[in-house]
A and B are shown apart, each in its own frame.
Chain A
Amino acid sequence: MKEKKVFKRTKGLTDIPMRYCPGCGHGIIHRLVAEVIEELGVLKRTIGIAPVGCSVFADEYFNCDMIQPAHGRGPAVATGIKRTRPDCIVFSYQGDGDLASIGMAETVHACARSENITIIFVNNAIYGMTGGQMAPTTLIGMKSTTTPFGRDVKVAGYPIKVCELLAPLEAPGYLVRVSVHKASQVMKAKKAIKKAFQVQMDGLGFSLVEIISPCPTDWFLTSLQAVEFAEKQMIPYFPLGEFKTPYKKEEVKKEAKEGIEVEYRTDFN
């Protein structure tokens, strides 16, 4: 009997086992980014930026050059690298505390300048590494260690929707929100990440992929319940879809016919 290896570990990842909690979405997103870099053939000229947060050890897992800047300064450091080495592919891997809280200024201004970089924004609605404190993206009424009775709008305000926040700016090239809570969404997420890197390689400006990721430990759920929570609570508040794309609408429709069915939103274009 002949058999063929149809799924193998990508060369974009090192052999070190990941030290994330069981059921954490970071591992899936690491794999998708690494696979995309490998498939585009840019592994040797890619520079990644590790965040401060759960994925602070991303430099150990990715098989490309990595830098670890100060908390939230990923887009600023990425700007510097891209401007000095325009031939390199630069991506910044950031969590919601890193990007939407302390690094909000860097993110908005990198977007407004339309720097030719790619940002992978992992939204798990919590500060994971420090022990489950409230993040800017924590849902209303959601329990965390600093909001033990649920997030109160009168005290802590409303969750920030980063894609909706950046979409009205003139500059950004590609803004999309995807999820990794089930297999079909993982495939869509990979297509979105590939498109984001393609936008950078085509020189079309800033690209940001927001990815809804389950965090079983700090949501105080099992991994299966966390997947359900992501689907039933997170996605209604953070709707999936493309918010901005540099490619023309006809091309988008053609792609949609060919089966790349990310739910396209055109009301922001």
Chain B
Amino acid sequence: MSRIEVDEKRCKGCELCVIACPFGVLALSDVFSSTGYYPAKMVKPEKCTGCTLCALVCPDVAIEVYKEVKKTGAKK
């Protein structure tokens, strides 16, 4: 399963990643971060495909994306 990591010290809760995600994986958190914003977090982690669209639109470079490497079917 692919996943993203949001750096809460950098995230300012601008919601751009939330609308960029085609699967609705992301939403804003209910709790403040240490900088006083509501950071983005994964709410449907099982739907993440590691497409990096959220990271592309992040103005604060707060998102890192990890993509799952499938063993079967990779080499044919």
Q: Which of B1-28 contact A (CB under 8 A)?
A: 1-3, 9-10, 12-16, 19-20
Can you sample 18 A-B contacts with CB below 8 Å? A2-B68, A4-B66, A5-B65, A5-B67, A6-B52, A6-B66, A8-B64, A22-B14, A23-B16, A27-B59, A180-B57, A183-B20, A183-B56, A186-B56, A222-B15, A223-B14, A223-B15, A227-B16
A13-21, A107-115, A132-140 - interface stretch = A13-21
Tell me, yes or no, whether A142 is within 8 Å of chain B by CB.
Answer: no
Instruction: Check B67–A6 contact: CB distance below 8 A.
Output: yes
Q: Give how many A-B residue pairs fall within 8 Å (CB-CB).
A: 88
Using a CB–CB cutoff of 8 Å, the interface residues on chain A facing chain B are: 1-10, 13, 17-18, 20-28, 31, 180, 182-183, 186-187, 216, 222-224, 227
A28 with B68, Cβ < 8 A, contacts A3-B2, A224-B15, A224-B19 known: no
Instruction: Check B59–A7 contact: CB distance below 8 A.
Output: no
Count B-side interface residues using an 8 Å CB cutoff.
32
Tell me which residues across on chain B come within 8 A of A2, comparing CB atoms: 68-69, 71
Tell me which residues across on chain B come within 8 A of A3, comparing CB atoms: 2-3, 66-69
Using a CB–CB cutoff of 8 Å, the interface residues on chain B facing chain A are: 1-3, 9-10, 12-16, 19-20, 35, 37, 50, 52-53, 55-61, 63-69, 71
Instruction: Check A17–B10 contact: CB distance below 8 A.
Output: yes
Q: How far is the CB of A193 from chain B (nearest CB, A)?
A: 14
Q: How far is the CA of A165 from the CA of B69 in the complex (A)?
A: 49
- Residue in chain A with minimal CB distance to B4: A7
Q: How far is the CA of A186 from the CA of B53 in the complex (A)?
A: 10
Cβ contact of B57, chosen from A24, A182, A222, cutoff 8 A: A182
Tell me which residues across on chain A come within 8 A of B63, comparing CB atoms: 7
Instruction: Check B1–A1 contact: CB distance below 8 A.
Output: yes
Q: How far is the CA of A22 from the CA of B58 in the complex (A)?
A: 10
Cβ contact of B56, chosen from A9, A18, A187, A224, cutoff 8 A: A187
- Residue in chain A with minimal CB distance to B55: A7
Q: How far is the CA of A248 from the CA of B12 in the complex (A)?
A: 43
Q: How far is the CA of A164 from the CA of B76 in the complex (A)?
A: 50
Q: List 4 tightest A-B contacts by C-beta distance, closest first.
A: A27-B59, A23-B14, A22-B12, A22-B14
Instruction: Check B65–A28 contact: CB distance below 8 A.
Output: no
Tell me which residues across on chain B come within 8 A of A7, comparing CB atoms: 52, 55-56, 63-65
